Structure 1
Amino acid sequence: MSNIVNTVWIGKQLGPVHAACLRSFLRNGYDVVLHSFGMPEDAPEGVRLFDASKLMSLPEVDAFRKTNRLAFASDIYRYRIQRENMGLYVDCDVYCLKPFEENDYVFGWESSKLICNAVLKIPSGSRLLQKVLEASEDLHFIPPWLPARKRNKMALRKKLGFPVHVADQAWGVIGPQLLTHYVRELELTNHASSIDSFYNLHFECTGLLYEPGLSVLDLATRRSSFLHLCNSRLKPSGVPAGSPMHEILNE
């Protein structure tokens, strides 16, 4: 197992859930490298800062901030981490249950149809990384999985100087949808981990995090190394004692 894990945060404060997730990796022996434009005020002790401006400029970030699509900037950034061969990437809302035995490729199914990129490692010289980098760096990317009629319309707009920006396209267009498409195209699905490795907590089941009487391990299986907490679905306050979220926040 490599003991380095990279994560990205844009902002002055992580918040209690993200800070708890970083602590979980520290507890499990990981060297946590936080890519940020300045260390957040509430970063746990032991986290190392990497200056994110070395891989992405603030104007690039601001372009997505204006459209409230910072997740797109994060998608691009994680591929650049892979380009620089810096090791495993995880989202800040991924909670570590136990160390994970890494291979050259690390990604996992979050459903029967979609591979998520919240936990990611791709060989820097691979065809897969070349494909996702090329696509994600094109801000007017035309998804090849769309119906031909729609692709043709987007191509015409692009040619006439009125392209469709990725920030105006569907969620995941340079994230899970992109990764899934090229993993399938390049016949790399054998490298995808099972759903319960990282994504056993379905986003529609995040309410279980607030159920008293359950523990974090009740939401996992013996094969689960990490637990993606699906931050967008989490409650900002009101964490009951004796619930999995209470356990996460107080460990």
Structure 2
Amino acid sequence: MSNIVNTVWIGKQLGPVHAACLRSFLRNGYDVVLHSFGMPEDAPVGVRLFDASKLMALQEVDVFRKAKMLALASDIYRYRIQREGMGLYADCDVYCLKPLDEDDYIFGWESSKLIGSAVLKIPPQSRLLQELLEAAEDLHFIPPWLPRRKRNKMGLRKKLGFPVHVADQAWGVIGPQLLTHHVREMNLTNHASSIDAFYNLHFECTGLLYEPGLSVRDLATSRSSFLHLCNSRLKPSGVPAGSPMHEILNA
């Protein structure tokens, strides 16, 4: 299973950037499995479809769609992929530069404080995954890293029937924040790859993708296997020729 990468998409179209990212994995010899509720119209040839309804009901997705927090559904889904032992997971805005050396644990630092979850692999029977699943499946999860006073207040609200939904909590509460907390608690930080493995392109530096004269390799290091493109910061049009994004879209 070392050459499999699982991705998730909710919607009818991937868009040019996400389609290009999937093609990058195909070029590097990966068996790309796209978890979706029907194959997107612009999915690259060679991508395999996995029926996402086998791991998440559409009703669950609708809850997060109404809250305009589909990212939370994706957080939960990637943990379920790990639960099923399906192998490596990567967001659809992760660009593959070269094949990754496989390991039981795959995740990396995205900043000095947070471990990202855009690239993820965790042993199915591990305590880490059990803790992640238990927290993520609780829509009114109370983060243990919050100050005691705030945890007590949230706990009281939960008992009284007025809990705080995860959609109304801080960004990454069941994603990078949760993952980082438990990796630290379980002394698993030795498994975390350095920031340049996957997250060398800081989200505030995504403008470099549109700089003529730069290449994709200029945005990475010799240790970079993947490059997280930070989808929320990407411009949909006006891509200059000779820029890294032009290279990505035309590869």
TM-score grouping bracket, smaller chain normalisation:
over 0.9
CA offset digits 1:179-228 (Å, max 9, x no partner):
00000000000000000000000000000000000000000000000000
Q: Given residue 109 of structure 1, which amino acid in structure 2 is its aligned partner?
A: W
Q: Given residue 209 of structure 2, which amino acid in structure 1 is its aligned partner?
A: L
Residue matched to 1:2? 2
Separation of aligned partners in 1, 2:57 and 2:130: 21
Separation of aligned partners in 1, 2:194 and 2:102: 14
Residue matched to 1:178? 178
SS of structure 2 residue aligned to 1:32: strand
Tell me the CA shift for residue 236 of structure 1. 1.1
Separation of aligned partners in 1, 2:207 and 2:42: 25
Residue matched to 1:210? 210
Separation of aligned partners in 1, 2:94 and 2:194: 16
Q: Given residue 223 of structure 1, which amino acid in structure 2 is its aligned partner?
A: R
SS of structure 2 residue aligned to 1:138: coil
The alignment of Structure 1 onto Structure 2 pairs a total of residues equal to 251
Tell me the CA shift for residue 239 of structure 1. 0.1
Residue matched to 2:233? 233
1:110 partnered with 2:106:
no
1:71 partnered with 2:71:
yes
Separation of aligned partners in 1, 2:171 and 2:77: 16
Separation of aligned partners in 2, 1:185 and 1:127: 11
Tell me the CA shift for residue 102 of structure 1. 1.2
Separation of aligned partners in 2, 1:131 and 1:157: 23
Separation of aligned partners in 2, 1:167 and 1:80: 19
SS of structure 2 residue aligned to 1:201: coil
Structure 2 stretches lacking a partner, 5+ long: none
Superposition CA RMSD, Å: 0.6
Separation of aligned partners in 2, 1:3 and 1:103: 12
Tell me the CA shift for residue 149 of structure 1. 0.4
Q: Given residue 12 of structure 2, which amino acid in structure 1 is its aligned partner?
A: K
Tell me the CA shift for residue 127 of structure 1. 0.4
Separation of aligned partners in 2, 1:148 and 1:201: 35
Tell me the CA shift for residue 143 of structure 1. 0.1
Separation of aligned partners in 2, 1:85 and 1:210: 37
Separation of aligned partners in 2, 1:48 and 1:108: 26
Tell me the CA shift for residue 24 of structure 1. 0.1
1:161 partnered with 2:161:
yes
Q: Given residue 40 of structure 2, which amino acid in structure 1 is its aligned partner?
A: P
1:137 partnered with 2:99:
no
Separation of aligned partners in 2, 1:75 and 1:68: 14
CA offset digits 1:121-141 (Å, max 9, x no partner):
000000000000000000000
Separation of aligned partners in 2, 1:60 and 1:167: 13
CA offset digits 1:13-46 (Å, max 9, x no partner):
0000000000000000000000000000000000
SS of structure 1 residue aligned to 2:208: helix
Separation of aligned partners in 2, 1:199 and 1:114: 11
Separation of aligned partners in 1, 2:243 and 2:195: 23
Residue correspondence of structure 1 range 27-38 to structure 2 within 5 A: 27-38=27-38
Tell me the CA shift for residue 7 of structure 1. 0.3
Separation of aligned partners in 2, 1:11 and 1:171: 22
Residue correspondence of structure 1 range 49-64 to structure 2 within 5 A: 49-64=49-64
Q: Given residue 84 of structure 1, which amino acid in structure 2 is its aligned partner?
A: E
Residue matched to 1:224? 224
SS of structure 2 residue aligned to 1:179: helix
Separation of aligned partners in 2, 1:172 and 1:195: 18
1:11 partnered with 2:11:
yes
CA offset digits 1:152-174 (Å, max 9, x no partner):
00000000010001011111000
* TM-score (norm. length: structure 1): 1.00
Separation of aligned partners in 2, 1:127 and 1:86: 17
SS of structure 2 residue aligned to 1:33: strand
